[in-house]
Amino acid sequence: MDRMLVVIFDTENKAYEGKKALSQLENAGSIVVYAHAVVGTNADGTTTVKQSDDPGPLGTLVGTSVGALIGLLGGPVGVAIGATAGLIAGGAVDLDNSKVGVDFVDDVRQQLQPGRFAVVAEIQEDWTTPVDTRMEAIGGTVYRRALSEVRQTVNQEDAAAIKADIAQMKAEHAEARADRKAKLMGKINQLDSKLQAQLEKAKQRRQAAEAQAKAKVEVLKAKAAALKAKAAEKHI
């Protein structure tokens, strides 16, 4: 199962130990790590990315669920960019892209206080014991949530409501006096722009989800090939 994992530590060194433990668990075949980052919370509430995964099929954290969650953890003041992160946070960072609920974000944010650090990762795991056992031994507090599907289409009720308003105003526009026509047309244009923006955002989400799905397949293929090569070396 694909999950979002956040492990909170009291020190930065412990967070790096946690990241190393994830790599070891992956090498042992216990989990698959799609993307990860070590983050810290500053006194002003911003979240600084201390270290992120190396470039690979998923590239930087931009557009990934991990990147979106990090943006949300920063709260209204946003994200401070770490020197080694290679992460650019923008308006695309939102709850839908993080694929987790607002309650999960709130739970993590409450514990990720200034001066504390966390490993944030998108992983695949069949059972929770391996990660929990390793992280608890290091002193980490584990939060996880199964990833939901990205909402790829605009809310049909919202779209229908906007279209109904546009239709009504167009009907009024046809019967209106000249001085009223301009005002009605302005409102019609505003509603149409809002509808088009929603449709475009849904399109971007769908494309991002498709790209992530393809990237994950490539990650799994690359890891399988590496394991196959390692096994072949042992038989030489």
Q: Which of 61-70, 144-153, 177-186, 199-208 has the lowest mean pLDDT?
A: 144-153
The verdict on 140 and 74 lying in the same domain is yes
Indicate if the pLDDT at residue 87 is higher than 60: no
Is residue 77 scored above 70 in pLDDT? no
**Domain boundary pick from 125, 148, 171:** 148
Claim to verify: residue 123 and residue 230 sit in the same structural domain: no
Q: Quick one: tokens of 215?
A: 């990237």
Q: Write down the pLDDT at residue 35.
A: 85
Q: Is the pLDDT of residue 163 over 50?
A: yes
Give me the mean pLDDT over the 110-131 stretch: 90
Q: Are residues 165 and 121 located together in one domain of the fold?
A: no
Instruction: Please state, for a pLDDT cut of 70, what percent of the chain lies above it.
Output: 79
Question: 182 and 101, same structural domain?
Answer: no
The backbone torsions φ and ψ at residue 24, rounded to the nearest 5 degrees and listed phi first, read -65, -40
Side chain identity, residue 78: G
What pLDDT band is residue 118 in, cutting at 50, 70 and 90? Answer: very high
Q: Choose among 195, 196, 171: nearest CA to 184.
A: 171
Q: Are 123 and 22 in contact (CB under 8 A)?
A: yes
Same domain, 116 and 30: yes
Is the same domain home to 56 and 170?
A: no
CA 223 to chain centre: 22
The 10 Å Cβ neighbour count of residue 39 is 30
Kindly state whether residues 102 and 124 are assigned to the same domain: yes
- H or E stretch covering 50: strand 47-52
pLDDT category at 213 given cuts 50, 70, 90 is confident
Mean pLDDT, residues 173-192: 85
Judged against a pLDDT cut of 70, whether residue 76 lies above it is answered with no
Look at residues 132, 148, 164 and tell me which one is the last residue of a structural domain.
148
Report the percentage of the chain scoring pLDDT > 90. 17
Q: Are 144 and 75 in contact (CB under 8 A)?
A: no
How many other β-carbons are positioned within 10 Å of the β-carbon of residue 178?
Answer: 6
Please, which pLDDT band fits residue 10 given cuts at 50, 70 and 90? very high
Whether pLDDT at 150 is above 50? no
Residues near 69 by beta carbon (within 8 Å), at least 6 away in sequence: 4, 6, 98, 100, 105, 120
- What are phi and psi for residue 79, nearest 5 degrees? -115, 135
Q: What total of structural domains would you count in the chain?
A: 2
Residue that finishes a domain, picked among 127, 148, 169: 148
The reply to whether 121 and 164 lie within a common domain is: no
Q: Please name which of 92, 102, 101, 122 lies closest in space to residue 202, comparing C-alpha atoms.
A: 92
Average pLDDT over residues 38-59: 71
Looking at the fold, whether 92 and 192 belong to one and the same domain comes out as no
Across the beta sheet with 2-9, what order do the strands follow?
Answer: 79-80, 47-52, 31-41, 117-125, 2-9, 141-146
Average pLDDT, stretch 133-139?
93
pLDDT at site 80? 43
> 46 with 34: CB under 8 angstroms?
no
Could you tell me if 143 and 161 lie in one domain?
no
Mean predicted confidence (pLDDT) in 109-126: 90
Q: Do 130 and 112 share a structural domain?
A: yes
Does 103 share its domain with 129? yes
CA dihedral (166, 171, 174, 179) positive or negative: negative
- Name the pLDDT band for 24 (thresholds 50, 70, 90): very high
Query: Containing domain of residue 42, as a range?
Result: 2-148
